Amino acid sequence: MTAPLRLGTRASALATAQSGQIAERVRELTGRAVELVEISTPGDRSHAPVAELGVGVFVSALRDALTAGDIDLAVHSFKDLPTAHPDGLVVAAIPLREDPRDALVTRDGRTLLDLPEGARIGTGAPRRVAQINALGRGFECVPIRGNVDTRINRVTGPSADLDAVVLARAGLSRLGRLGEIGETLDPMFMLPAPAQGALAVECRTADTTLVDELARLDDYQTRAVVTAERALLAALEAGCTAPIAALGEVAEDEDGSYELYLRGAVIQLDGRHAVRLSGTGTLPASTDPAEAAAAVGRALAATLREEGAESLLESVR
């Protein structure tokens, strides 16, 4: 009997939920048994703000386990991955992306712009803080860590001390908690993080059979937009905690090719200055879109730099 595939995951409810969903898809597509292996990461053990912990804090232990052969594959929230990829590992699949937008949870179902001046909003992401400050509504952004339950309890629990909290809509969807959202935030004023809502299924490059099997989970359009968003992030030489936002969309042309539309933004933390631009590019119809998509991301990053993004990034480095 073939041994079960060992799928590494963080131990949080969200991580195990999304890893469980991938495990089920792997079982369906390959007929192979899959067991979850919980792995603790430095980010899970620390209470420090994410911006202080550094890039890759939630993925390093999973990658170490993969390299050591303790697990066969790992599932990551793609936005947590460093843009530099380690030797010997490959993102074999990027499944269909969940809605990448941010979501607001409030006590009474209010929208963001319905909150009163001075409302306390929980978020530890500089990108979100910068865009909330840019609204000019006098909101107070409160650093917050913990799992989804912990964060929502800060708003709706018996000891609530916040008026609202901003979370990724994708995470709430995977946990079956969409009903708790007061508002899904319009990307026009809350552009998501690069790769938000997407998952990365990673394994060892040398496990060629598994690489081929996992590739069946891959979604063409998701790979294209996520590649473009992360190429922009890499070209700006900034980590996943920088105040950088990006969102790609793909539309099919009449000739069977695809058009990629990418929006990107770099925002000063106080919200007073921002550079927001967009770019487009054509993707091949029947081959891997990664190279063409990455070119769109790099080109937009270069234009952002030309328009002043570098000085905004220097102010927060």
User: What 8-state DSSP symbol labels residue 48?
Assistant: S
* 11's tokens: 């131990």
Query: Which of helix, strand or coil describes residue 6?
Result: strand
Q: How far is CA 297 from the centre of its chain?
A: 16
- Integer Cα distance of 42 and 280 in angstroms: 38
Question: Given the DSSP bridges, would you call strands 102-106 and 164-168 parallel, antiparallel or unpaired?
Answer: antiparallel
Phi/psi of residue 81, nearest 5 degrees: -80, 135
Q: List the catalytic residue out of 64, 70, 72, 80.
A: 80
Type of residue at 125: A
**Cβ neighbours of residue 196 under 8 Å, at least 6 residues apart?**
78, 79, 100, 102, 168, 170
Query: Which of helix, strand or coil describes residue 276?
Result: strand
Q: Can 163 be counted among the known catalytic residues?
A: no
Q: Which residues are catalytic?
A: 80
